[in-house]
Amino acid sequence: MSQKNQTLGEFIIENQASFKYSSGELSRLINSVRLAAKVVNHEVNKAGLVDIIGAAGETNIQGEDQQKLDVYANEKFIQTLTNRNIVCGIASEEEDDYVSINSQDENNQNKYVVLIDPLDGSSNIDVNVSVGTIFSVYRRITPVGTPVTIDDFLQKGSQQVAAGYVVYGTSTMLVYTTGDGVNGFTLNPAIGTFYLSHPNMQFPLDGRIYSVNEGNYIHFPQGIKNYIKYCQMEEGDRPYTSRYIGSLVSDFHRNMIKGGIYMYPKSSKNSNGKLRLLYECNPMAFLAEQANGKASDGFNRIMDIEPTELHQRVPFICGSKNMVEKAEEFMRNPEN
């Protein structure tokens, strides 16, 4: 039972026992995410003040320019999780390969691997628009005490034990699930404490917001084009409103609170869309389902997709259940 003014720390302790694999390890992991989030938040908030914005002069494995804050957030999250000796492996959207932690130490009994997008939407930083961190946690499948392998990371989303995001917005929030609903915590920056502000978050079943980069419209599959026209049609509770921040975490967060659908479909330019299955789509899909929403690639449940590579991309449609199902209907019948 959550109390008024409950802090994230108190919430973690209170709910630790209800987690089915409870050993305190996952709680320590969430605590580390909390710490890294505060450190990154501090830096993100200074973005306009110090010479930290702009490209770091490097490109990541996907050939995109890295922003300085991407590099910073990546380092902070990896450092925090490594220093506290909490996980046995980390994969990051900003790293070419996964990192195995303490692989030489037979006493390393850590069970969890973490996959992370340290700063999603970072092209928005230099224009003062919200960005986010996304994380996803799995139990390793190889034996404890041995070095992790790629198989520990290439698990289906349905195997996630926890997932969440931090949104660095007008206020900073940490939103996460351990498979028992979704809870949101808002940072009080004056004292550096997260408070439970959004208990048991739920997507409304229906919504009136659609979020998609319509600049790519002519390249979209016919089913998506038809669905967008459906959203714009004057009929019943339509036309819907279009809202696209271009920061997945922020677009998702708004849609979860207000009701809506986010789409990054495949296009004639990108045959698998843009978003990464392991770092972006699976964690958001887990949160969506835990909040009574839905996530699909247009035909299949995101969390049922068998991953084949770390940086794999998939088309992504996510949000209020009835809206996602309607979009799927259009995808299945593009001739209608």
321/330 Cα distance (integer angstroms): 15
Nearest-5° Cα angle at 202, 164 to 228: 90
Which chain residues interact with ligand AHM by CB under 6 A?
Answer: 64, 117, 120-122, 213, 246-248, 274
Residue 207 · residue 318 · CB < 8 Å: no
C-alpha distances out from residue 33 to 162, 198, 253, Å: 12, 18, 18
Q: What is the DSSP string of 238-305?
A: BSPEE---S-HHHHHHHHHHH--EEEE---SS-TT-SSBIIIIIHHHHHHHHHTTEEEESSSSBGGG-
When binding is defined by CB under 5 A, the residue of 117, 152, 251, 289 that contacts Mg ion is: 117
Q: Which is nearer to ligand AHM, 122 or 226 (CB)?
A: 122
Shortest distance, CB of residue 280 to Mg ion, whole angstroms?
Answer: 5
Shortest distance, CB of residue 127 to ligand AHM, whole angstroms?
Answer: 12
Q: In which order are the strands placed within the sheet that holds 241-242?
A: 241-242, 209-211, 261-264, 316-320, 293-296
Shortest distance, CB of residue 93 to Mg ion, whole angstroms?
Answer: 5
Residues 6+ apart with CB under 8 A from 307: 153, 154, 155, 156, 277, 278
When binding is defined by CB under 5 A, the residue of 120, 152, 251, 328 that contacts Mg ion is: 120
Binding string, 58-97, against Mg ion, x = CB under 5 A?
----------------------------------------
Q: How far is CA 109 from the centre of its chain?
A: 27
Partner that binds at residue 64, options ligand AHM, Mg ion, none, CB closer than 5 to 8 Å by kind: ligand AHM
Q: Which is nearer to ligand AHM, 28 or 294 (CB)?
A: 294
Shortest distance, CB of residue 69 to ligand AHM, whole angstroms?
Answer: 11
Residues pairing with 262 in the sheet? 211, 318
Residue 165 · residue 287 · CB < 8 Å: yes
Piece in contact with Mg ion (CB under 5 A), picked from 28-36, 104-112, 116-124, 236-244 = 116-124
Binding string, 20-59, against Mg ion, x = CB under 5 A?
----------------------------------------
Residues that bind Mg ion (CB under 5 A): 117, 120
Task: Show binding-site residues.
Answer: 93, 117, 119-123, 213, 244, 274, 280
Task: Show binding-site residues for substrate.
Answer: 120-123, 213, 244, 274
